Amino acid sequence: MSDPETCRMKEDDAEPQTDLLEVIELKDIPNFITGKKTSQTEKNLSQKSARRARSTRFLPCAHCEKSFTRKGDLDRHLRVHTGEKPFTCVQCGKSFKLADGLKKHLRCHSGVRSFHCHECGKTFILPSHLKRHMIIHADFKPHLCSLCGKSFSRLDCLKKHQRTHSGARPHVCFECGNAFNSADTLKRHRRIHTGEKPYTCSDCGKSFTQSAHLKQHERVHTGQKPYYCSFCGRSFSTSRNLPAHMKKHRPDA
């Protein structure tokens, strides 16, 4: 007969051995939690993700200390150094480093002003233009002219104003030689020579060289008259009509 104590020892030893077998064979049987067996495709995808994670390296810029994780981001950044502008406007030829820059620029040609100021109703092509305009209503003018004390909400407006004191006109038209105190003024002037009219009325299709002219024209369709006489309340669609009307109330003015 077998020794009872020996039999108990053998039965006790069998329990951890069974557990070990369960651990070893666990990878080959259905998942005991989800009830699903890991497919070969899932294993391959997991291994591919692991290799990608291991192979991820920061892509350094050869011109500066910046680095990127994606080649597309690096390629876009390199245009800062190379000056490359692969995105070109077919209407005016202006080029941009990013596709988003061209997309925003194309709104200038469309004349569509979908961003409205809730304070005065003025409309803008880009949200950045509206944001810049809102400073006017906040009456925040931190940029002070040291010569006359006039203040401005934007630094570029102060610089443009300061040229009125110096008389500087650094922007010259190569077609006719006329000089201007700002690049924007020269750009508008150049349309006289090129015949470009980038601002188009969405109602009738008429085009204009300046956005202000388009806005004034659009009042023909909307009936808007934003200029009011403080004496009688009569309104006008253009600012130039108001002074002439005001003289009827104050002929000596």
- Tens-digit pLDDT profile for residues 168-196: 888 899 889 899 878 888 888 998 899 88
Which tops the pLDDT comparison, 253 or 73? 73
User: Using one digit for the tens of pLDDT, what is the confidence trace for 77-98?
Assistant: 888 888 888 888 887 878 888 8
Q: What average pLDDT does this structure show over 242-253?
A: 77
C-alpha–C-alpha distance, residues 251 and 253, integer Å:
6
* Predicted pLDDT at 176: 92
C-alpha–C-alpha distance, residues 115 and 250, integer Å:
38
Q: Beta-carbon neighbour count of residue 181 at 10 Å? A: 19
What's the chain's length in residues? Answer: 253
The answer to whether the CB of 162 falls within 8 A of the CB of 147 is yes
- Nearest of 113, 112, 111 to residue 124 by alpha carbon: 113
Q: At residue 211, what is the residue type?
A: S
User: Which of 38-42, 48-52, 54-58 is the least confident region?
Assistant: 54-58
Q: What average pLDDT does this structure show over 91-114?
A: 80
Percent of the chain with pLDDT over 70: 75
The answer to whether the CB of 71 falls within 8 A of the CB of 59 is yes
Asked if pLDDT for residue 49 goes beyond 80, the answer is no
Six-digit token pair at 165?
A: 């004191």
Walk me through the domains of the chain, giving residue ranges and CATH numbers.
68-106 (3.30.160.60), 122-168 (3.30.160.60), 169-222 (3.30.160.60), 227-253 (3.30.160)
Q: Beta-carbon neighbour count of residue 113 at 10 Å? A: 20
* pTM for the whole structure: 0.36
Q: Report in angstroms the alpha-carbon separations of 15 from 7, 9, 11, 18, 19.
A: 13, 11, 7, 5, 6
* Predicted pLDDT at 11: 47
Q: Which positions ≥6 away from 175 have C-beta within 8 Å?
A: 190, 193
Q: Which positions ≥6 away from 38 have C-beta within 8 Å?
A: 31
| Most confident listed range (21-30, 49-58, 63-72, 104-113) | 63-72
CA quadruple 96, 101, 104, 106: dihedral, nearest 10 = 20
Q: Report in angstroms the alpha-carbon separations of 107 from 74, 104, 118, 199, 208.
A: 28, 6, 21, 9, 14
Which tops the pLDDT comparison, 58 or 215? 215
Asked if pLDDT for residue 228 goes beyond 60, the answer is yes
Q: What confidence tier does 40 reach under pLDDT thresholds 50, 70, 90? A: low
Residue 160 exposure: Cα atoms within 13 Å on the Cβ side: 13
* Predicted pLDDT at 17: 47
Asked if pLDDT for residue 75 goes beyond 70, the answer is yes
